[in-house]
Amino acid sequence: MLIKTKELREAIINASFSISKDKESSLYNVLIETRNNKMEIKSQNNITKLTQTLNTDQEENLKILTDPQKITNILKEIKDETIEIKKEDNILKISSGNFKTKLKTLNPELFSETKKDTNKNKICNIEAEKLKKLIKETIFCPDKNDIAREYTGIYLEIKNKVTKATATDHYRLINVSTENKTEIETEFIIENSGANLINKIPIEGITEIYSSEKEIYIKCGNISIYSKIIKGNFPDYNQILLDKETSNIIELDREELKEAVKRSSVLSENREISININANEKELLISSQNQEGEIAEDKINFSTIKANDNLIIKLDSKFVLDFINQITPKTVTLLYRTSEEPIMFEASEDNFLYKYIMTPIIE
Amino acid sequence: MWERVIDLLKNSVETQDIEKLFLIEPLDVSPVKISLIIPNDSVKKLLKEKYKDEFKKSLKTVFGKLPKIELVIKSNEKDNLNIKYAFENFVVGPSNQLAYAASVAVSENPAKAYNPLFIYGGVGLGKTHLLHAIGNAVKRNKPNSKVLYISSEEFTNELINSIQHKQMAQFRNKYRNLDCLLIDDIQFISKKERTEEEFFHTFNSLYESQKQIVITSDKPPSEIQDIENRLKSRFSWGLIVDIQPPELETRIAIIQKKAELFNLKLSPEIVEFIAQNISSNVREIEGALIKISAFKSIMRRSVTLSLVKTTLQDIVMRKEKMLTAENIQKTVARHFEISIEELKSSKRNKEILIPREIAMYLTRKITKNSLPEIKAKFGVKSHATIINACKKIEKEIEKNPELREKIKEIEKEITNV
C-alpha cells in the first residue's frame, strides 16, 4: 500500500506519546490497522489512548504491531513524498525508491485494545487552541507524586459559559479561565498524563469533548484522544483566592519584574528572595543573600491600584518566574495582605484570565 | 450471578412476564443476601406470589442455597430531599429548641401534631435544614409516603411552565396528591397572584385530606407583605415557631459539629475564637470552616489560631467594610430613591428628613462609630441631632409597622454580608 511519508511519520510520533513506559509490554508498540482505505494508528497505556486516522489505497484488512521509535527513525530519513508498505508474515517492508527496509513486527493480537466506553456524553465543543492553552498554562503545577490523587491532575470546570483549568502543588495554585459558549456545566480532574498528551498532540480547529464516569474523550479532526479522569473532589480553591475588596493591589510591569527577580535571585542558594513593598514610595525591593552574607538586590516601581500596607514577604523565585515567564501581558497585578498569607498574581491576555497564588516561605 | 438467576427463571414464567423481570435491577448480590430494586408493586407480586417457588428454585440452583431476599421498590418521584440534613446533625440550643421539637413532632405524626407548621427566622439559621430533616424522617418512617421539598421560587417556575405547556392537570395532580409538602421561603410568592391562588388551592386540598404542610419564611405570616390575607390566616392555623440566631454555646456546638464534617481538628481556643467572631448566622460559620478547610487541604497548612485569624479576617473585614456610615447612607438613599447628597443635606422636608434620621439611627445601631464620628459623617452640628433622630426613629418603629419593615429590610441588606 502507498501512504504519504510525512503524514505517517507525524502520526507515529503522536502515537508514541501514548505508549506504555514499560519496554516489556506489548503496549510499548503502536498498532497500525487498515480497513476500507483507512489507516488507523493506535497507541495506549494504562491512562491514555490515542487514535489517528489516515487515508490510504489499502482496501484489505491489515494489522501491524511495531516499535514506534524504529519506524520513526526510518521515516525521518526518507525524503520521498510517499512510501510503500507491505507486510509478509511478521515482517514489515517499507520501500521508497531504491531504499528498502525490513522490520520485525509483533503479533497484533497482543495489543489488547480497551473497550470503548459507550456511556459517554458530549460536553461541549471548544477550540483546540483554547483547550491546549488551558492545559499548557497549568501543567507545570500539579504535584505528580501527591498521595491525594485529586492533586495530581488538572481540574477542568466548564460552567457559566467559562472554562477554567486549575492545578496546585500545595505551595502554589494556578487558575486559568477563558470564555466558552457552551451551556452545559461539568467538571472533572484529568490525569496528568492525559493533560500532557493533549499538550503535545498538534490539534487544530474545533474539538468535541465527551465524558463518561471514568474517562474523557476528545475528538479533533482525524485524532481521538482518551484519558482517564481522577475520581475525587478537587477542593474549593475559590476559598483561597484573594479578594480584591480586602487586599492591597499594586500593578507591576511584567518584564521589569521578571528581570528584577532573575537578577536578585542570582546569589540565592535556595531560590529564596525577599520582596519588600513600600506602598508610600511605590517601590518594590527584591533581594536575596547567600550564606556568606553577600547580597543582590533590585528595585522596581509600581503603580498603586489600592494599597495602604507595606509588605515584607519571602518567596521562592522559581515559583514567581514559572508564572511570569509563561505569560505575555505588559502588566501583572499583585494582591497581598500580610507576610504570612499567600499572595496572588493576576493577569489577563487575549481572552484568558490568570490567577496564581503562592504561599510565602515562613521560617 | 443475577443474570444466571434470570436465565433460569425466564424458562418457567409466562412470556408476557419475561419483559417485566428484566426491569429488576440487582443492587447487591451474594450467596448470603440478594437485594433487588423492583420497578413497581406488580413486579414485586410476580416474585413474591406468582413465581415465588420458581424464583426461590432459581436462586437455590445458582447459589447452592437460598440467600436472604430483600426487595426494594424503586422510587420514581423526585422528592428533592437532601439526605445530608437530618435531625441527628441539627445542633439544638435555646434559640431553635422549639422549632426543632415541633419539627420532630411533625415528622413522627404527620398532619396530626401541628398542621401547618410554620417556621420563620433569619438567613442561615437552619430553617431549610429542618424542612429536609422532616422530609427525610417521614420517608424513613413511611418509605412509601409522597414527600416533596420545594422552594416557593421553584413552585412558581413549575407553575409557569405548566401554564405555558398546558399541563395544569399534571401540576395539580402532583401537588395535591402529596402526603407531606415542605415549602421553603414562602415570602417569595408575594405579589405573584397566580402562584398565590394556586398555592391557596394546593394548601386547602392537602389540609382537607389531612396531609402535612410545613412552611418556612423569613418573617411570621402577619408580617409578610403583599400576600393575600386568606393565605396568611391559613398559615396561622397550625403552629408558628421562630428560630433566633444561636447564642455563644450553641455556636460552639455548631462549630464542633461542622468541623467534624469537614474533618477539621480544631482546638477549643480556635472554636471559641470563631464563635466569638461570627455571630450572625450558621451559614457564615460554615463559610469560615470551608475557607479554613480549603487552606488546610490546598496549601497544606496546619490549622493554627493564626491561620484562623487571617482566614476570618477576610470575613470580618468584608463585614466591617459594609458596616460603615458611607455604606449605610448609600443603602438608605437607594431604598428611598434619593441621592446621597440630598440625604446628607440640611433639607427638612419629610422625604429627605426621615431617610436621613434612619441612616443616623442605623449608623448608631450597627457600626462602631462614636457620636463625634457620626456627627462628622453626616455633617450635623451637634450630637443632640443624632440622639434625637435615633429616639424619633425608635418611636416610629414602635407605632409604624410599615416603616419598621422597611428599616428591617435595609438593616438586613447591610448586615447580611
Q: pLDDT value at position A291?
A: 87
Grade residue A36 by pLDDT with cuts at 50, 70 and 90.
Answer: confident
Residue B127, pLDDT above cutoff 60 = yes
Are A259 and A296 in a shared domain? Answer: yes
> B248-322 in CATH: which number?
1.10.8.60
Subunit contact A340:B297, Cβ cutoff 8 A: no
Per-window interface: A 127-166 vs B, CB < 8 A: 148
Are A214 and A252 in a shared domain? Answer: no
> B97-243 in CATH: which number?
3.40.50.300
Are A176 and A197 in a shared domain? Answer: yes
Q: How far is B51 from chain A (nearest CA, A)?
A: 34
Residue B417, pLDDT above cutoff 60 = no
Domain count, chain A: 3
Residue B318, pLDDT above cutoff 70 = no
Are A134 and A157 in a shared domain? Answer: yes
Category of B66 on φ-ψ map: left (φ > 0), alpha (ψ -120 to 50) or beta: beta
Q: pLDDT value at position B416?
A: 63
- The pLDDT tens digits of the residues spanning A189-209 come to 999 999 999 999 999 999 999
Q: pLDDT value at position B356?
A: 94
Which among A243, A337, A342 has the least Cβ separation from residue B299?
Answer: A342
Which residue does chain B place closest to A235, by CA atoms?
B294
Which residue does chain B place closest to A342, by CA atoms?
B299
Which among A173, A338, A340 has the least Cβ separation from residue B298?
Answer: A173
Residue B74, pLDDT above cutoff 80 = no
Q: How far is B313 from chain A (nearest CA, A)?
A: 9
For chain A, state the CA radius of gyration. Answer: 25
- The pLDDT tens digits of the residues spanning B240-299 come to 999 998 999 999 999 998 888 888 889 999 999 999 888 777 888 888 898 888 888 888
Residue A173, pLDDT above cutoff 90 = yes
Q: How far is A273 from chain B (nearest CA, A)?
A: 20
> Residue A187's CB: how many other CB atoms inside 10 A?
15
3-state DSSP assignment of residue A331 = strand
Task: Give contacts of A171 with chain B, Cβ < 8 Å.
Answer: 299
Which residue does chain A place closest to B310, by CA atoms?
A341
Between A182 and B152, the higher pLDDT residue: B152
The C-alpha cell that represents A310 in the structure block = 507595606
Task: Give contacts of B298 with chain A, Cβ < 8 Å.
Answer: 168, 170, 173, 235, 237, 240
Residue whose C-alpha cell is 547567600: A290
Subunit contact B294:A359, Cβ cutoff 8 A: no
Q: pLDDT value at position B242?
A: 95
Across the range B59-84, mean pLDDT stands at 82
Grade residue B319 by pLDDT with cuts at 50, 70 and 90.
Answer: low
Are A217 and A310 in a shared domain? Answer: no
Are A197 and A215 in a shared domain? Answer: yes
Task: Give contacts of B300 with chain A, Cβ < 8 Å.
Answer: 170
Residue A318, pLDDT above cutoff 90 = yes
Phi, psi (rounded to 5 degrees) for B22? -75, -10
Are A18 and A106 in a shared domain? Answer: yes
Strands B212-217 and B180-184: what pairing? parallel
CATH (domain of A16): 3.10.150.10
Are A230 and A155 in a shared domain? Answer: yes
Task: Give contacts of A173 with chain B, Cβ < 8 Å.
Answer: 298-299
| Cα–Cα distance, A263 to A297 (Å, whole number) | 8
Subunit contact A359:B314, Cβ cutoff 8 A: no
Across the range B334-355, mean pLDDT stands at 90
- The pLDDT tens digits of the residues spanning A94-136 come to 999 889 999 999 999 998 887 777 778 888 899 999 999 999 9
End-to-end CA gap in chain A: 67
Task: Give contacts of B318 with chain A, Cβ < 8 Å.
Answer: 243, 245-246
Task: Give contacts of B295 with chain A, Cβ < 8 Å.
Answer: 239-240
Q: pLDDT value at position B166?
A: 83
- Contact A244/B at CB under 8 A: no
Determine contact, residues B344/B356, Cβ cutoff 8 Å.
yes
Q: Where are the domains of chain B?
A: 2-73, 97-243, 248-322, 325-415
Determine contact, residues B133/B216, Cβ cutoff 8 Å.
no
Task: Give contacts of B297 with chain A, Cβ < 8 Å.
Answer: 148, 235
Are A234 and A213 in a shared domain? Answer: yes
Subunit contact A240:B291, Cβ cutoff 8 A: yes
Are A170 and A184 in a shared domain? Answer: yes
Determine contact, residues B303/B264, Cβ cutoff 8 Å.
yes
Q: pLDDT value at position A259?
A: 96
Determine contact, residues A158/A165, Cβ cutoff 8 Å.
no
Q: What percent of chain A has pLDDT over 90?
A: 69
Subunit contact B300:A170, Cβ cutoff 8 A: yes
| Cα–Cα distance, B52 to B45 (Å, whole number) | 9
Helix (H) and strand (E) counts in chain A: 6, 25
Q: pLDDT value at position B399?
A: 85
Mutate to test the interface with A, among B262, B286, B296, B298 (most CBs of A within 10 A): B298
Average pLDDT, whole number, for chain A? 91
Category of A300 on φ-ψ map: left (φ > 0), alpha (ψ -120 to 50) or beta: beta
Q: What is the DSSP letter of A37?
A: T
Subunit contact B313:A337, Cβ cutoff 8 A: yes
Task: Give contacts of B301 with chain A, Cβ < 8 Å.
Answer: 359
Mutate to test the interface with A, among B297, B301, B319 (most CBs of A within 10 A): B297
Which residue does chain B place closest to A239, by CA atoms?
B291
For chain B, state the CA radius of gyration. Answer: 29
End-to-end CA gap in chain B: 56
Which residue does chain B place closest to A243, by CA atoms?
B314
Residue A322 domain boundaries: 241-358
- Contact A173/B at CB under 8 A: yes
3-state DSSP assignment of residue A341 = coil
* Shared fold status for B2-73 and B325-415: no
Across the range A75-90, mean pLDDT stands at 89
| Cα–Cα distance, A150 to A235 (Å, whole number) | 9
Q: What is the DSSP letter of A361?
A: P
Of B189, B162, B161, B178, the closest CA to residue B214 belongs to B178
Are A127 and A232 in a shared domain? Answer: yes
Task: Give contacts of B288 with chain A, Cβ < 8 Å.
Answer: none
End-of-domain residue from the set A110, A132, A149: A110
Subunit contact B297:A237, Cβ cutoff 8 A: no
Subunit contact A243:B318, Cβ cutoff 8 A: yes
| Cα–Cα distance, A172 to A141 (Å, whole number) | 8
From 3.30.300.180, 3.40.50.1220, 3.40.50.2000, 3.40.50.2020, which CATH number describes the B2-73 domain? 3.30.300.180
Task: Give contacts of B290 with chain A, Cβ < 8 Å.
Answer: 236, 239
Q: pLDDT value at position B76?
A: 61
| Cα–Cα distance, A152 to B165 (Å, whole number) | 48
Are A248 and A232 in a shared domain? Answer: no
- The pLDDT tens digits of the residues spanning B162-220 come to 998 888 888 998 899 999 999 999 999 988 999 999 999 999 999 999 999 999 999 99
| Cα–Cα distance, B296 to B298 (Å, whole number) | 6
Which residue does chain A place closest to B313, by CA atoms?
A246
Task: Give contacts of A338 with chain B, Cβ < 8 Å.
Answer: 310
Task: Give contacts of B294 with chain A, Cβ < 8 Å.
Answer: 235-240
Which residue does chain B place closest to A237, by CA atoms?
B294
Residue A314, pLDDT above cutoff 90 = yes
**How would you write chain B as a 3-class SS string?**
CHHHHHHHHHCCCCHHHHHHHCCCEEEEECCCEEEEEECCHHHHHHHHHHCHHHHHHHHHHHHCCCCEEEEEECCCCCCCCCCCCCCCCCCCCCCCHHHHHHHHHHHHCCCCCCCCEEEEECCCCCHHHHHHHHHHHHHHHCCCCCEEEEEHHHHHHHHHHHHHCCCHHHHHHHHHCCCEEEEECHHHHCCCHHHHHHHHHHHHHHHHCCCEEEEEECCCHHHCCCCCHHHHHHHCCCEEEEECCCCHHHHHHHHHHHHHHCCCCCCHHHHHHHHHHCCCCHHHHHHHHHHHHHHHHHCCCCCCHHHHHHHHHHHHHHHHHHCCHHHHHHHHHHHCCCCHHHHHCCCCCHHHHHHHHHHHHHHHHHCCCCHHHHHHHHCCCCHHHHHHHHHHHHHHHHHCHHHHHHHHHHHHHHHCC
Q: pLDDT value at position A57?
A: 80
Numbered residues of chain B with Cβ closer than 8 Å to any chain A Cβ? 290-291, 293-295, 297-301, 306, 310, 313-314, 317-318, 321
Q: How far is A152 from chain B (nearest CA, A)?
A: 12
Element (H, E) at A134: helix A128-136
Subunit contact B306:A340, Cβ cutoff 8 A: yes
Of A31, A33, A29, A12, the closest CA to residue A76 belongs to A12
Which residue does chain A place closest to B322, by CA atoms?
A245
Q: How far is A151 from chain B (nearest CA, A)?
A: 9
Which among A240, A338, A340 has the least Cβ separation from residue B294?
Answer: A240
Grade residue B320 by pLDDT with cuts at 50, 70 and 90.
Answer: low
Q: How far is A38 from chain B (nearest CA, A)?
A: 39
> B325-415 in CATH: which number?
1.10.1750.10
